[in-house]
Amino acid sequence: MQLFKEHELKVTNSLSGKKEVFKPIKEGYVGMYVCGPTVYSNVHLGNCRTFMSFDMIFRYFKHLGYKVRYVRNITDAGHLENDADEGEDKIAKKAKLEQIEPMEVVQRYTVDFHETIKKLNLLPPSIEPTATGHIIEQIEIIKEILDKGFAYVVNGSVYFDVVTFNESNDYGKLSGRKLEDMIANTRELTAQGEKKNPQDFALWKKAEPQHIMRWPSPWGDGFPGWHLECTAMSTKYLGENFDIHGGGMDLKFPHHECEIAQAEARCGQTPVNYWLHANMLTLNGKKMSKSTGNNIYPSEMFSGENDILSKPFSPSVVRFFMMQAHYTSILDLSNDALLASEKGYTKLMEAMGSLDGLNGGNNSDFEVMAWKANCYAAMNDDFNTPILIAHLFEAVKHINLIKEGKEQLIKKDLELLKATMNSFVYDVLGLIDSAANQDDSASLEGVVQLLINLRNQARENKDFATSDTIRDELLALGIQLKDGKDGTTFSIVS
């Protein structure tokens, strides 16, 4: 259904700093690019919040009936240790420390990223390109920017000329910074000696002899600049002008500012109509930091193996916790906040479990149509999930009253309530009833163990035909038995 024709969606555009009505370039289609992870370490919980926020946005666009091309990249080269084009490539540095190939680092942490976000029930993007897979495109963009006079070559490196660009454009318009102020506040940095201006940024960096990750180019062996990678990948798959570019608030400057400059210098037009930014996640009221120890990884939350939280929390509870705050607001993670979210999540899932057992009555004590409109109004107001969740709990109250026989709904309203709750709880918020999944898993394990016991008894009775039948029938269902010295175990096979 093309629900988007019935709903006016407003989004907070970082470029204007205002809520604006969302109007896609092509009716019924949305092109969205989100900056993905740099895969040199386990995915950070704050990054998970950003990706989860845009997963929710992706889900809502799909729910409204848009055809969405969602591109989220993997940065597997070119991201230096700081924003001044200093230091080592983060992935190459990790490879040296562990004495392995850079692509082993990339593979290890890409797998970790995918495993983690799968637990948090994020949908895969339409396209997940890598920086190293688009070196040719990046080199071609650099050539174009050089031809337009907005870049220069020094000692095998290519830098974007911010001052020249600013003469005809507005560098800093996304972050609200003025180039004059940036120049005035610049401190001398040793690595900026070959730049014309400290604000200039690398499009291509010369690879020193010890640099592991390197590619040939017209300017010599080197590697691409971090900002350039996203420009190359976003425009390749979404065009020179597309609908939405997203990422964490920390990327607004300099990363996204530089993306705008590169694209405008190359094409002479703004690359993105709506810039959306998800805010940061704090821990116990303080910035999350690995160096200070005020940090926790997703896997540590799920397992309970940490010194910060009192117990493990399921990925579904963590997702529900994050959906309780607006994506543009700072969210503070604490043990008490997670415990409260767990209670709310459990209450919501219990109500969802009760829905199918409810029967229609003779009249309706709850205005379902008005409630449904309020749910959409919340999401249409810049994806306001906390307000949506408040409306969902209003429905939970009525579901429990109907279950207790204190209220009723006519069949038509009850079916509408069921459909709307399922759409928003499961499809849009992306929640999963983890308790039900655990129950299913426990039931499966119990049934398989029973069959293993029956098979063992058949083998003791030398009834090998029955034993083999049980083994073969389980294998046909995707359950493989393995006999060992400590007994029989099973695994799920595809």
Helix 45-63 to helix 102-119 angle, to the nearest 10 degrees?
60
Are 259 and 196 in a shared domain?
A: yes
How high is the pLDDT of residue 191?
Answer: 47
Q: Which of 278, 296, 319 is the last residue of a domain?
A: 278
Give the CATH number, domain containing residue 162: 3.40.50.620
- Determine the Cα–Cα distance for residues 332 and 179; give it in Å rounded to an integer: 33
- Determine the Cα–Cα distance for residues 4 and 28; give it in Å rounded to an integer: 8
How high is the pLDDT of residue 190?
Answer: 42
The token pair at 255 is: 């990363």
Cα dihedral 14, 17, 20, 25 sign = negative
Whether 186 and 198 have beta carbons less than 8 Å apart is answered as yes
Count of CB atoms situated within 10 Å of the CB of 41 = 17
Are 332 and 458 in a shared domain?
A: no
Count of CB atoms situated within 10 Å of the CB of 293 = 9
Written as tens digits, the pLDDT of the chain (494 aa) is: 799 999 999 999 999 999 999 999 999 999 999 999 999 999 999 999 999 999 999 999 999 999 999 999 999 987 887 666 777 889 988 998 999 999 999 999 999 999 999 999 999 999 999 999 999 999 999 999 999 999 999 999 999 999 999 999 999 999 999 999 888 887 554 445 789 999 999 999 999 888 889 999 999 999 999 999 999 999 999 999 999 999 999 999 999 999 999 999 999 999 999 999 999 999 999 999 888 889 999 999 999 999 999 999 999 999 999 999 999 999 999 999 999 999 999 999 999 999 999 999 999 999 999 999 999 999 999 999 999 999 999 999 999 999 999 999 999 999 999 999 999 999 999 999 976 655 555 667 778 888 888 888 888 888 888 888 888 888 877 788 888 766 887 777 64
Q: Could you give the strand order of the β-sheet that contains 286-287, starting from the edge strand earlier in sequence?
A: 286-287, 281-283, 331-333
The token pair at 378 is: 């919340």
Cα dihedral 455, 457, 460, 462 sign = negative
Are 291 and 309 in a shared domain?
A: yes
In sequence order, which residues have a C-beta less than 8 Å from that of residue 306 and are 6 or more positions away? 296, 300
Are 217 and 286 in a shared domain?
A: no
Are 131 and 250 in a shared domain?
A: yes
Q: Which of 357, 296, 297, 346 is nearest to 317 (CA)?
A: 346
- Residue 21: strand, helix, or coil: strand
- Determine the Cα–Cα distance for residues 187 and 185; give it in Å rounded to an integer: 6
CA 185 vs. chain centroid, Å, equals 34
Q: What is the DSSP letter of 123?
A: P
Task: Please report, for residues 205, 213, 220, 392, 431, the alpha-carbon distance to residue 208 in angstroms, rounded to integers and kept in the order given.
Answer: 9, 10, 11, 57, 48
* Strand 201-206 versus strand 157-160 pairing type: antiparallel
- Determine the Cα–Cα distance for residues 97 and 79; give it in Å rounded to an integer: 17
Give the CATH number, domain containing residue 371: 1.10.730.10
Are 308 and 457 in a shared domain?
A: no
Whether 243 and 31 have beta carbons less than 8 Å apart is answered as yes
Q: What is the DSSP letter of 43?
A: P
Count of CB atoms situated within 10 Å of the CB of 151 = 25
Are 159 and 94 in a shared domain?
A: yes
Are 269 and 222 in a shared domain?
A: yes
Strands (E), 24-138: 29-34, 67-72
The token pair at 390 is: 């408040």
Are 345 and 321 in a shared domain?
A: yes
Q: Which of 428, 446, 473 is the last residue of a domain?
A: 428
Are 29 and 47 in a shared domain?
A: yes
Q: Which of 382, 411, 428 is the last residue of a domain?
A: 428
Are 274 and 217 in a shared domain?
A: yes
Phi then psi for 109, rounded to 5 degrees?
-85, -20
- Which domain, by its residues, includes 83? 3-278
In sequence order, which residues have a C-beta less than 8 Å from that of residue 177 and are 6 or more positions away? 253, 257
Task: Please report, for residues 295, 318, 353, the alpha-carbon distance to residue 46 in angstroms, rounded to integers and kept in the order given.
Answer: 10, 12, 31
Instruction: Give the DSSP letter string of 374-403.
Output: HHHHHHHBT--HHHHHHHHHHHHHHHHHHH
Whether 438 and 446 have beta carbons less than 8 Å apart is answered as no
- Determine the Cα–Cα distance for residues 327 and 46; give it in Å rounded to an integer: 12
Domain count, the chain: 3
Are 269 and 360 in a shared domain?
A: no
Cα dihedral 38, 42, 46, 47 sign = positive
* Strand 222-224 versus strand 201-206 pairing type: antiparallel
Rounded (10°) CA dihedral 232, 233, 238, 239: 10
Phi then psi for 56, rounded to 5 degrees?
-60, -40
